[in-house]
Amino acid sequence: MEYEIAGIVVALLLWAAWAVSTERRHRRLPPGPRPWPVVGNMLQLARSASAPHQSFAELAGKHGAVMTLWLGSMTTVVVSSAEAARAMFKHHDAALAGRKIYESMKGDVGNEGSLITAQYGPHWRTLRRLCTAEFFAAGPLDAMRGVRARCVAQMLHYVREAAAADDGAGTDVGRFFFLMAFNLIGNLMFSKDLLDPASERGAEFFYHAGKTMEFAGKPNMADYFPALRWADPQRIRRRTQFHVKQAFNVAGEFLRERMREREEDVEKKKDYLDVLLEYKGDGVEGPAVFSSTIINVIVFEMFTAGTDTTTSTLEWAMAELLRNPDALRKVQAELRGVIGAGEKVEEEKLEELPYLKSVIKETLRLHPPLPFLVPHKAMESCEMLGFHIPKETQILVNVWAIGRDPKRWKDPQEFKPERFMDGDTAADYKGHHFEFIPFGSGRRMCPAVPLAARVLPLALGSVLHSFDWVLGGGMKAAEMDMRERMGITLRKAVPLRAIPIPYHQAHF
Ligand code: HEM
């Protein structure tokens, strides 16, 4: 009996010590809603699984611009204001430049060689330098101008076909943009039209890449409850890894084909695959050559990073323009004033199209495709704005909330491209204006900004110059459903359907 009582007393003392130390640790963490045992704040957030950026923004309104959430066992700090983002990227960029790795990305393929999921360190630096210098610098981008023009011309051809076949219901606008973006990356990487009906292997790659993005974008219980990891209860890891492997098989074939061509000295323009095959180390750190696994991973990542982000931005831009007819008229007048009827929109002309470029910025402010950036992770503990951020914490930067902050933006919910044309708010994409960071900021910011800054206005300008657009099914602008759905990117929940009317046909 005495032993039992002593045991209970010891247990109570241990529990009290644990509770006090947890309370102390929590006290130094940024504030947040009170968590439940085991599930943390998951129940409070479950209602809004399709729009977590919105519920996180609401919670930040109550708890502050640096806030702790417990997603199951995952400690997460959410940054929700321009000031807090400045503190993060200006003063703690290196400490917070790690990546949180989700279950869907784990497996025998997927992590080795990755740039997006690499932890901040020598391997990441090597890939990043290569990407910045060989893929997205002005020289290589200029050399690939023709490829972009060809992919956009092909998209216009598909839109023309859809216009001829339209019965008044309208056509899925996002699909044209997705095909263009996918085809563009296929051409930058392999000089191949993956969507050419003659390319069976291209269609296979397209299918598996799409499925990978679909599964990787689903919320996964195994990320939040480590005890469930072995079971993979929603089969997300197994499914994602299956499709990644299938896509790698196809990419591996393209790689072998290219190596044969190189041995046979087949003459062709240099693409990204050649850059990766010719890599001989950068003399600073990292490998001297890339293995075929690393090449497959890099190739695949360019598709996952580049297609959904581009598609989402362009679909939202069209939706906002159709809902705001004045802005639509203004951008078309600018385009048709600068570029004659029957001529093509070309990259050289983009400088003369400031309103078009502002339409893209305003779209990215309201609808950043990655509303939390790509999740960061604290590599080291640090003190930020007086709060303790423990090592391994996941950091989400709510750029969606920052872009709509009424303290920073006048009429934040309104679509007003003009705001980017006057000096005060003429923010660029470089990540120095912390109220507008759709591409991130600091070390981990998107390396493809120079590519995106050309492709987005080129593609949007082309469909607006060559076609007039009306909503499908006789819908009125005020009736449009503008709800958002979170997958791998923030997409329009109800795909936009609109009718393209060739410009000349509309005006004769
Ligand atoms: C609308 C277009 C795009 C947007 C808004 C966008 C946005 C972003 C964002 C927010 C990040 C993460 C930044 C961070 O975690 O701090 C990122 C990373 C990345 N993006 Fe983009 N992106 C776009 C297009 C592209 C394209 C076209 C490519 C490639 C062809 C690309 C390749 C990458 C890569 C490789 C990373 C990982 C960088 C790293 O972890 O160091 N992105 N992008």
Integer Cα distance of 389 and 377 in angstroms: 10
Please list the residues that pair with 75 across neighbouring strands: 70
Indicate the pLDDT class of residue 505, thresholds 50, 70 and 90.
Answer: low
How far is it, in rounded angstroms, from Cα 400 to Cα 371? 5
Confidence (pLDDT) at 14: 47
- Cβ of 460 less than 6 Å from ligand 1: no
Q: What pLDDT is stored for residue 200 in this prediction?
A: 78
Q: Any idea of the CA torsion for 264, 265, 271, 276, to the nearest 10 degrees?
A: 70
Share of the chain above pLDDT 70, in %: 91
Q: Which residue has the higher pLDDT, 284 or 341?
A: 341
Give the tens place of pLDDT for each residue, 88-137: 999 999 999 999 989 888 876 545 678 999 999 988 999 999 999 999 99
Give the Cα separation of 113 and 2 in Å (integer).
60
**pLDDT tens-place string over residues 25-44:** 555 899 999 999 889 998 88
Atom of ligand 1 nearest to the CA of 443: 41
Distance CA 455, CA 450 (A): 9
Give yes or no for residue 6 having a pLDDT over 60.
Answer: no
* Ligand 1 close to Cβ of residue 302 (< 6 A): yes
- Of the pLDDT bands very low, low, confident and very high (cuts 50, 70, 90), residue 210 is confident
* Burial call 266-284: b when 16+ CB within 10 Å, e when fewer: eeeeebbbbbbeebeeeee
For 378-401, what is the mean pLDDT?
97
DSSP symbol at 119: P
Q: What is the pLDDT of residue 54?
A: 93
* pLDDT tens per residue across span 413-457: 999 999 999 765 568 999 999 999 999 999 999 999 999 999 999
Domain ranges of the chain: 29-506
> What are the backbone dihedrals phi and psi of residue 465, each rounded to the nearest 5 degrees, phi first?
-75, -40
The whole-chain average pLDDT of the chain stands at 89
CA of 447 to the centre of ligand 1 (A): 6
Provide the 3-class DSSP secondary structure of residue 499.
Answer: strand
Give the whole-angstrom CA distance, residue 120 versus residue 96. Answer: 9
CA angle, 249 then 104 then 131, to 5°: 65
Best CA proximity match to 494, nearest among 310, 295, 316: 316
- Cβ-proximal residues to 234 (8 Å cutoff; 6+ apart), any chain: 218, 220, 221, 222
pLDDT score at 16: 44
pLDDT for 232 equals: 92
Answer whether residue 491 shows pLDDT above 80.
yes
Report whether residue 185 contacts ligand 1, using a CB cutoff of 6 Å: yes
State which of 126, 357, 446 you would mutate to test the pocket of ligand 1, scoring each by most atoms of that ligand within 8 A of its C-beta.
Answer: 446
Q: Give the distance (Å) from ligand 1 centre to CA of residue 151.
A: 20
pLDDT reported for residue 444 = 98
Q: Which atom of ligand 1 is nearest to the CA of 312?
A: 1
The reported pLDDT for the residue numbered 285 is 74
- pLDDT at site 10: 47
Q: Hey, what amino acid is at 166?
A: D
The DSSP secondary structure of 377-422, one letter per residue, reads: E-SS-EEETTEEE-TT-EEEE-HHHHHT-TTTSSSTTS--GGGGTS
What's CA 278's distance to the chain center, in Å? 29
The pLDDT of 347-360, averaged and rounded, is 97
CA nearest neighbour of 118 among 98, 147, 138, 133: 98
* Tens digit of each residue's pLDDT (9 = 90 or more) over 220-272: 999 999 889 889 999 999 999 999 999 989 888 888 988 898 888 777 778 99
Residue 374 CA, closest ligand 1 atom number: 15
pLDDT in tens, 315-335: 999 999 999 999 999 999 999
CATH topology of domain 29-506: Cytochrome p450 (1.10.630)
Would you say the CB of residue 130 lies under 6 angstroms from ligand 1?
A: no
What is the distance in A from the centroid of ligand 1 to the CA of 259? 29
In this predicted model, what pLDDT tens digit does every residue of 137-147 receive, in sequence order? Answer: 999 999 999 99
Residue 453 near ligand 1, beta carbon < 6 Å: no
Q: What pLDDT is stored for residue 264 in this prediction?
A: 86
pLDDT digits (tens, 9 = 90+) for 275-312: 999 988 777 777 778 888 889 899 989 998 999 999 99
Q: How far apart are CA 274 and CA 270, in angstroms?
A: 6
Residue 280: helix, strand or coil by DSSP? coil
Burial tier of 371 (Cβ tally within 10 Å: 0-12, 13-18, 19+): buried
- Quote the CA–CA distance of 232 and 228 in Å, as a whole number: 6
Q: What pLDDT shows up at residue 281?
A: 79
Determine what percent of the chain falls in helix, strand and coil, rounding each to the nearest 5. 55, 10, 35
The CA distances from residue 226 to 73, 127, 241, 375, 494, in Å, are 8, 30, 19, 18, 34
C-alpha torsion angle, residues 374, 378, 383, 386 (rounded to 10): 40
Specify binding-site residues for heme. 446
First-last CA distance in the chain:
100
Cα of 468 vs centre of ligand 1, distance in Å, is 31
Q: Would you say residue 499 has pLDDT above 50?
A: yes
Q: For position 89, what pLDDT does the model report? A: 98
Distance CA 404, CA 412 (A): 5
Q: How confident is the model over 1-10, as a mean pLDDT?
A: 54
